[in-house]
């Protein structure tokens, strides 16, 4: 993974709520794209797993709090660039916890994607790490 400067997303952990996450994803799904939504859903469903360490849950909560916070580094209202910092944080955290992501979580995220995207869009989401890992 290329070195990128990530914002201090851990300071956003108090911003995370399940309802806030669901509302944000539903609102931005089409604009953000299937890859973004798939990454966010995997983190969300992994957070609900009892097979994930408290440490990993803490960074997931920080990342999802950053995602739903209206006060992130690049406001989401800025076309294209507004969600790029959010995606960078999601992919960074996903890369860190990928070994703990169960097939069940991946299937649940994939099923949820089908509510917003067609199969062509969903297939594009499978390359979360730019060819380094197969996600679906």
136 band by pLDDT with thresholds 50, 70 and 90: very low
pLDDT cut 90: percent of the chain above it: 38
Task: Read off the pLDDT of residues 115-133 as tens digits, 9 standing for 90 and up.
Answer: 889 888 888 887 787 755 4
**Structural element, H or E, at residue 29:** helix 18-32
Report how far apart the first and last C-alpha atoms of the chain are (Å, whole number). Answer: 19
Both tokens assigned to 53: 């360490």
Quickly tell me which residue has 């991946």 as its tokens: 106
Q: Using alpha carbons only, how large is the chain's radius of gyration in Å?
A: 14
Whether the Cβ atoms of residue 7 and residue 89 lie closer than 8 Å to each other = yes
d(CA 129, CA 123): 14
Please write the tens of the pLDDT for every residue from 65-104.
988 886 654 554 454 556 788 888 999 999 999 999 999 9
């Amino acid at each position: 993974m290329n070195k990128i400067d990530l914002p201090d997303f851990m300071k956003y952990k108090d911003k995370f709520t399940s309802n806030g996450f669901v509302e944000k994803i539903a609102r931005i799904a089409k604009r953000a794209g299937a890859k973004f939504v798939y990454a966010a859903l995997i983190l969300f469903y992994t957070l609900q797993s009892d097979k994930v360490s408290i440490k990993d849950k803490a960074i997931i909560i920080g990342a999802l709090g950053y995602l739903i916070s209206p006060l992130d580094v690049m406001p989401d209202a800025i076309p294209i660039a507004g969600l790029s910092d959010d995606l960078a944080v999601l992919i960074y955290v996903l890369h860190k916890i990928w070994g703990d992501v169960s097939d069940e979580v991946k299937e649940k995220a994939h099923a949820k994607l089908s509510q917003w995207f067609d199969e062509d869009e969903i297939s594009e989401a499978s390359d979360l790490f730019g060819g380094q890992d197969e996600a679906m």
